Amino acid sequence: MTITRKLLPPLALVGALALVPVTTSSLAAADVANYEELETFMSVYERVKANYVDPVDDHTLIKGAIDGMLAALDPHSSYVEASDFQTLRTTTDGNYGGLGLTVSTEDGAVKVISPTEDTPAWRAGIKAGDFITHINSELLYGLSLDDAVEKLRGPPGSGIKLTIVRPGREKPFDVTLVRERIVLRPVKWEIKDGIGVININTFAANTGDATKAALVAIDKATGGRPLGYVVDLRSNPGGLLDQAIEVSDAFLSHGEIVSQRGREKNDIERYYARPGDLAHGLPMILLIDAGSASAAEIVAGALQDHRRAIVMGERSFGKGSVQTVVQTGPQSALRLTTARYFTPSGKSVQAGGIDPDIVVPQLTDPDYKDRPRVREADLRRHLISQAKADDKLLEHDEKADPRFAATAAELEKKGVKDFQLEYAVKTLKRLGPASIASAGSRPKTR
């Protein structure tokens, strides 16, 4: 997401233009069609304003028209005002009051995309693919996404009861949570068996610096001799484009990281890595799942295409579009999809996602087989990819594999809390630095 400050002409001016007498002889064919569409809009506007059962003000009608216009485009374009504008700003800064959920709407229902780690929703066990049907026993249906998010958020310390419908379970169940001030710690790190594990859970304003600090801290903690790195991007909903570039740059010493391409053929921006790999070329495994989206997919695609890391886990979310936030007034902003992004090999992940090099299911999740994954391709009016994808490949996340036959209960008895992470650490130890480094020397696909 890129942020631009730019004032747009007020919509009142657009409405006024529709009332100016214009002769069709002075207009091109396209202009005539545009004028006719504006005339239709103004006709409906005036009829609603004059005859609707209750009085309705101009602002409500214009705001509704804008919302409807943007809803007809894609799931990520929107217009926000007042409190919603402040919410947009605080969310990108990583500091807001709420539950720690990324949600979408589907046919009027609120669906969970992913919970954020170490937040009330994550600790309560809410999972991607869950439907939130009620808040405090009040039906939550038919609301806009912004209205649904507004109901989920609230003052820190306030309680909330959610009714959850989880595919694969027969009955809905209630979850009681307490809202918190969500101050996202974008990066956490630890050492497991000599391997540095870096968990990046969002791409907020300071994620790049925090990732670099984690690499320095791991170096210091291991005496400059870590065996390798696991970078965990699971359930990371994305965030700021410049932070995805900074994180990728921390592990790459050269080459393209990502390109973003707009409407016109020559509207292309490319971003490149600077010299210096802060991970010193050590072997890496990068973990993704169906909740890894947007900026997380930029990092995964860059490191995968450059053979810098083995990507492991499940196919990612598939949000390959860039939203530009344009401030339209002191307390309002337009969030508009303006480009698609492409990995260094020229692949668009829009609606298709990043395929892992090694598919590893999360066996410690007892519902992983029955719970459907929610991805960009499942959202209504999602942006179409510019590359064709095989639908059969998109419909199946895992194939039967004897290595993954253990049940969640069996793993719990062995003390395994996170199978994917354990598998990644063991893979690094089993293959050894030399084996994984040789994988990094393979020629890149262009």
Catalytic site positions: 294, 305, 319
Both tokens assigned to 153: 């958020």
Residues 6+ apart with CB under 8 A from 3: 92, 240, 324, 325
Taking residue 395's Cβ as centre, other Cβ atoms within 10 Å add up to 8
Q: Please classify residue 142 by burial: count the beta carbons closer than 10 Å to its beta carbon, then call 0-12 exposed, 13-18 middle and 19+ buried.
A: exposed
CA atoms within 13 A on the CB side of 434: 0
Burial state string for 251-261 with b = 16 or more CB within 10 A and e = fewer than 16: bbbeebbbbbb
Residue 104's DSSP bridge partners are 111
